[in-house]
């Protein structure tokens, strides 16, 4: 089933991506996705790791008082370890998203 989308929201998204430096508008060609350097990726993941660590430290006192939540998080963590050992990246990624949603 084909879904039709108005051009207006698509233009808005493309302009937002351009404003954030993620895309560039080329006259007579349209939008192109900007490349990202390895250095930028390293910076992004350094910041992400720091923020996730802080989030974990802030939510631990709250989550640790809920035995059911702790059991769920421990189960998800164990499942992630199993997927990691089997090098199942897709299953690991899905479980990781579930883990973070549970937090």
Tell me, yes or no, whether 31 and 43 share the same domain. Answer: no
Distance CA 53, CA 37 (A): 24
* Full-model pTM: 0.55
pLDDT digits (tens, 9 = 90+) for 33-86: 999 899 999 999 999 999 989 988 998 898 889 999 999 999 999 999 999 999
Instruction: List the structure tokens of 69.
Output: 């939540």
How much is the pLDDT for 67? 93
Q: Which backbone phi and psi does 97 adopt, to 5 degrees? A: -65, -45
- Write down the pLDDT at residue 34: 93
User: What pLDDT score does 4 carry?
Assistant: 83
Q: How many domains does the chain have?
A: 2
Whether residue 62 is found in the same domain as residue 93: yes
Domain interval for residue 92: 38-102
44 and 80 inside one domain: yes
Please tell me whether residues 66 and 42 are part of one structural domain.
Answer: yes
Q: What pLDDT, on the 0 to 100 scale, is given for residue 3?
A: 79
pLDDT for 47 equals 97
Instruction: Indicate if the pLDDT at residue 1 is higher than 80.
Output: no
Collapsing DSSP states into helix, strand and coil, what is residue 5? coil
């Amino acid at each position: 089933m084909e879904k039709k989308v108005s051009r207006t929201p698509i233009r808005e998204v493309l302009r937002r991506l351009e404003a954030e430096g993620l895309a560039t508008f080329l006259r007579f060609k349209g939008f192109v996705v900007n490349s990202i350097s390895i250095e930028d990726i390293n910076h992004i993941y350094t910041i992400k790791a720091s923020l996730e660590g802080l989030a974990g430290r802030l939510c631990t006192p709250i989550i640790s008082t809920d035995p059911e939540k702790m059991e769920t998080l421990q189960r998800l963590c164990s499942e992630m370890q199993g997927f990691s050992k089997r090098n199942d990246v897709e299953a690991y990624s899905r479980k990781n998203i579930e883990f973070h949603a549970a937090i």
